[in-house]
Amino acid sequence: MLLLHGHPRTHTTWHKVAPLLARSFTVICPDLRGFGRSSKPADPHDYEASSKRAKARDCIALMDHLGFDEFYLAGHDRGSYTAFRTAMDHPSRVVKLAIMDGVPILEAVERCNAQFASQWWHWFFYAQPDKPERAILADPKAWYQGREEDMGAGNYADFQAAIHDPETVEGMLGDYRAGLALDYLHDREDRQAGRKLQCPVHVIWSLKDDLEKLYGDVLAVWQPWADHTVTGAGIDSDHHMAEQAPGELAHALATFFTM
């Protein structure tokens, strides 16, 4: 099982979830390209290098290296976009796909309204050149917040190291820049070509976050992108569900991947 974290977290966000899943699965938790301790694109404005398509190739290369021809895949937040692209571009490799707190980037762009722009303003700010780095790096701890008592000591330390590293901040912002410059076009090409996800898809969202407020029926948003009936449900959590509701999340993932 390959688990992909979101922004601004690293692989350590899964520190409570991975041991629970490891009772039944081999669990792999990388840092996405540009995040944490993974490599960074040389140019933070190189949209192709930060695209979900490039990161999907990273996922396939990683699983090739580890000897897994097929695998289960789950992604949260920005990691959900890479997970979606991996399953879309490499359908023979992904057996089942779990999406957490996300919809396809094209859906978000096309459904953008005043509510989305006001609540998810960071999408557009982070896509701008240079200014977001200056704002974030002036005081990363205040910008990203997060509390050690909530996150766990090791996870918090890894998170702090990431957000205080200028190259990592640039790498994380590249994910947003590619999203609005390139990734949504890849989604549009898939839709126009009639390509859909070939594997079963399960969607999980945080009930205390804003996905339902923005999109209403989250499963209905996903259904046109999948050949199978999309399943899913919300869980009682704020946005960082792996840290805030690890038992419920691990149970939901294990149930889906073993059914």
Distance of CA 160 to the CA centre of its chain: 19
- From the CB of residue 124, how many other CB atoms can be counted at a distance below 10 Å? 13
Burial 218-230 (b: 16+ CB within 10 A, else e): bbebbeebbeeeb
* Phi then psi dihedrals of residue 256, to 5 deg: -65, -45
165 annotated active-site: no
Pairing verdict, β 94-100 and 71-76? parallel
Residue among 5, 15, 77, 183 flagged as catalytic: 77
183 annotated active-site: no
> Do 34 and 106 contact (CB within 8 A), yes or no?
no
Helices (H), 112-245: 114-119, 122-126, 131-138, 140-144, 148-151, 153-163, 166-178, 184-193, 211-215, 218-222, 241-244
Active site residues: 77, 239
